[in-house]
Amino acid sequence: MGALPVFRWRLAPDGYATRRQLRARGLRPGGQPVVAQLERPRRRRPPLVAYLYRVDLAKPVRPMTPARWAALAKANRARRICPQCRAEAVYVIPPSLGACVPCSFPDPSRAVRSA
C-alpha cells in the first residue's frame, strides 16, 4: 500500500470529505479506510492534518434508538453528579474542577461555627 495523497488546506477535490463534513451531510465513513489527507501548514510547528473519506462510499448515520437515547441520558446524568457531595448539579461538572462549584470553592462565611 502506498502513501496517502496529501492536499493543501481547502484544496481537496470534490468527492472527498472529513468526518465532520460527512456528519453535516448525515453520513458516516462506514468502515472505509482513509483515502487522503489535508495538511494545513503552521509556523514553527508540524502541520495540522485532517483525514479524508470518499463521499460516494459513505453510509447514512445510524438512527438513535430508545436504548441509545437512554444510555446517552444516563451518561449525561453521571457527568452532573458531584463525586464529593453526591448531589446532582444542573450543569455538567467541569473536569478541570472535578467537583461541583460549592465543593470546589467552599464559602468560609457559611462554615458551621461550634461554640
pLDDT in tens, 40-91: 999 999 999 999 999 999 999 999 999 999 999 999 999 999 999 999 999 9
Say yes or no: 100 and 79 in one domain.
Answer: yes
Question: What total number of domains does the chain contain?
Answer: 2
Say yes or no: 22 and 50 in one domain.
Answer: yes
Q: How many CB atoms lie within 10 A of CB 29?
A: 20
CA distance 19 to 29: 7
In a domain, 113, yes or no: no
Say yes or no: 56 and 71 in one domain.
Answer: no
Mean pLDDT within 90-97: 93
Boundaries of domain holding 86: 66-107
CA distance 49 to 38: 6
Say yes or no: 15 and 49 in one domain.
Answer: yes
Q: What is the pLDDT of the chain when averaged over all its residues?
A: 91
